[in-house]
Amino acid sequence: MGRTGDFGHGLRTCWRGCGPGAHERALLDLWLRTAAGQPVGWLRQFRRDTAVWLWTYHAEAVQRAAGQVPHLDDFVLHRRESVAMQPFLSLHGIDAGISLPDSARTLPAYLALRHGVTDHSGLINDICSLEKEAVLGYEHNSVLLLHREHGGTLQQAVEKAGARQRRLTERIQRAEEELLIQTDTARMTGPDRTALHECVRDYRHMVRADYDYHLQAERYTRPDLTNPAERTLRSNHFSPA
């Protein structure tokens, strides 16, 4: 538990450029190469999202050590940070050559879209991780919390999670539509408008890729962890958008 806090401190130290340890120096080198040429808005968001993600490990460790289980409503916000999609979405911009100005990053519909994509990834991860996490007694899982708070069978909890996943897909589609309107209202033109539209397109592909990844990645399909052919806790709602 103490190590998670130490690492969070080390990360902040390396961002200030004065890390004393080997891993701080490695992180500093990685950070400097990643951050080179990025606008201030990107740097601010990536630093915030990465730090918050790493602190979620500390938060969960403290909760488990205290014998506590999060309430579902609180966990939704925690999962948004712990799934690490927020930093990934920022890194996507570098790989895709997309640079969003602050005027785009702060649009309500863009934030809703970003949160929707992140929440979608976290929920699908929880559905596919359910069996192995249940065996390990790891309760920071949306399906297990649904089961804990609403009762019924575990299969019914999976169905509730699947229904939530469908609503998230609808939320993402609604955010896309609202973002187009807000782009016009803000009179965003030229490269900024193009970059924002490319983000919408790529985020949609990421949502679709959630299914491919979670149904193919070894960490979810290894026979010693779970057998997809015999899986009984797969929601009927769990299907590509």
Q: Which residue matches tokens 């993600």?
A: 53
The answer to whether residues 194 and 99 touch, using CB atoms and an 8 Å cutoff, is: no
At 9 the pLDDT is 59
Query: Along the 241 residues of the chain, how does pLDDT read in single tens digits?
Result: 545 455 555 566 655 655 567 777 787 888 889 988 999 989 999 989 998 998 999 999 999 999 999 999 999 999 999 999 999 999 999 989 998 989 999 999 999 999 999 999 999 999 988 888 888 888 999 999 999 999 999 899 999 999 999 999 999 999 999 999 999 999 999 999 999 999 999 999 999 998 888 888 877 766 555 554 555 555 454 444 4
The domain boundary, picked from 68, 97, 114, lies at 68
Q: How far is the CA of 44 from the CAs of 103, 190, 193, 202, in angstroms?
A: 14, 24, 21, 22
Q: Residue 137: its pLDDT value, please?
A: 84
Classify residue 127 as exposed, middle or buried by CB count within 10 Å of its CB (0-12, 13-18, 19+): buried
Q: Taking the CB of residue 171, how many other CB atoms lie within 10 A of it?
A: 17
Residues 36 and 147 in one domain: no
CATH number at residue 201: 1.10.600.10
For the four alpha carbons of 210, 213, 218 and 223, in that order, the dihedral sign comes to positive
In this prediction, residue 235 carries a pLDDT of: 47
Integer Cα distance of 45 and 47 in angstroms = 6
Would you state the torsion angle of the CA atoms of residues 72, 75, 80, 82, taken in this order, to the nearest 10 degrees? -140
Cβ-based burial of 132 (10 A; exposed 0-12, middle 13-18, buried ≥19): middle
Question: Are 114 and 35 in a shared domain?
Answer: no
Q: What is the pTM of this model?
A: 0.84
Q: How far apart are the C-alpha atoms of 185 and 109, rounded to whole Å?
A: 12
Cα-Cα-Cα-Cα torsion 173, 176, 181, 182, nearest 10 degrees, comes to 130
φ, ψ of residue 189 to 5 degrees: the values are: -135, 175
- Final residue of a domain: which of 31, 48, 68? 68
In a shared domain, residues 32 and 148: no
Give the whole-angstrom CA distance, residue 80 versus residue 142. Answer: 11
Same domain, 141 and 99: yes
Q: Are 72 and 149 in contact (CB under 8 A)?
A: yes
Q: Domain range spanning residue 22?
A: 1-68
